Structure 1
Amino acid sequence: MVSKLEKVIIRITVFCVVGLFPVIPLNKAINAHNSDIEELFLLINERLSYMEHVALYKERTNSPTEDIEREAVVLMDAVETANELGLFGPSIESFFKAQISVAKAIQYRYRADWQSESPSFVPLNLQETIRPKLTQIGKSIVDKIATLYSNGEQINEEHRDLFHNSIDIE
């Protein structure tokens, strides 16, 4: 079970992820609509919510948490989608690298917790269910970033509380 402190660390870490991508110009006036930004945050939350299943699937199949080949595919897909939408690919790549790091941290935490208390659920199938869903969510995240960018919207410190309220990783 993830402690409250770990939840706070995860939330702060994930919020830092949002600040890693300079896709949205800083010289524009702050005019972000919370609904669009909240949708992005909820997509990030949805993506991270699968990490417990990912971790348990990997635990049960004796697979390592880190999968460099899969990470490369995720990054390539994100950059390709970003380029198609007119975004700066390297910024999206940095953003997704940070998301991958947070996702792995969550998986490591769950796997460590399960050393003392076994989980009581059956994980979703990684290949058939989780990865296709994560791919779709990843595309939606890049699409939402493109929408924010095209609308001249920004994510900044004022959105920290909204972000924290949107992330509910257990």
Structure 2
Amino acid sequence: MSRFFAVPLLLSAIAASTQAIAAPASLAPLLHSIEERLAIADQVALSKWDSHKAVEDRPREQTVIASAVGLAPQYQLDDALVRQFFAAQIEANKLRQYALLSRWTLAGAAPDSPRPDLVGSIRPQLDVLQKRLLQQLAAFADSRADPQCPQWLAAATHKAADDELQRLALIRATAELCAKP
């Protein structure tokens, strides 16, 4: 008789755990914009390949973070959260750039694709994305403290990208998105 009740209880527990993992609607657009920002890393890497500039650019990184922190009050976001979030975006972007540059060095050449201007084309795209990311981070902010947040991110990042490098960069970009208890 106990087996008769055990199976429905097990199925109920599985269903409850599946429901518990459902992420808020605000997560998908945020992840999409993070992925969009990571895709721009390919263009930045091509620019750095051609110019032989270093991936690491601390003054530029500090400018990007300071700009985002300066906008934080408009989105009712904490400065520390914005600083941490954009530092993670930059680190993920650099991870992708380093890996691509290594891949191209091994191959002896970078892809033969159009090279947008870093200052005139790529940075304005990043500026537009910055505001969208702030808006989406604000929409997701209340969900950061949910105990299911790490599971939402793990599920989303593991199915989001077909490219392993993109997946790793996305994991890095979202590594500190959930609030610590």
What TM-score does the superposition give when structure 2 sets the normalisation length?
Answer: 0.69
Structure 1 counterpart of 2:151, from 140, 149, 158: 158
- Deviation readout 1:95-133 (Å, 9 max, x if unpaired): 111111111111111111111222221222111111110
Q: What does residue range 54-133 of structure 1 map to in structure 2 within 5 Å?
A: 54-117=44-107, 118=109, 119-133=111-125
Q: Distance in 2 between matches of 1:138 and 1:114?
A: 28
Larger radius of gyration: 2
Q: What 5-or-longer segments of structure 2 have no aligned partner?
A: 1-19, 168-181
Q: Distance in 1 between matches of 2:70 and 2:22?
A: 26
Q: Distance in 1 between matches of 2:65 and 2:127?
A: 11
Q: Distance in 1 between matches of 2:21 and 2:159?
A: 20
- Deviation readout 1:108-167 (Å, 9 max, x if unpaired): 111111112222212221111111101111111111111223xx3346123121233334
Q: Distance in 1 between matches of 2:74 and 2:21?
A: 25
1:83 deviates by 2.1
1:43 aligned residue = 33
The answer to whether residue 133 in structure 2 is matched with residue 141 in structure 1 is yes
1:15 aligned residue = none
What TM-score does the superposition give when structure 1 sets the normalisation length?
Answer: 0.73
Moved over 4 A (4+): 30-33
1:88 deviates by 0.7
Amino acid at match of 2:150: E
* Structure number with higher relative contact order (C-alpha < 8 Å, ≥ 6 residues apart): 1
SS at match of 1:63: coil
| Structure that is richer in helix per residue | 2
1:33–1:132 CA distance, 2 compared to 1 (3 A): same
Q: What 5-or-longer segments of structure 1 have no aligned partner?
A: 1-29
Q: CA RMSD in A?
A: 2.2
Amino acid at match of 1:50: I
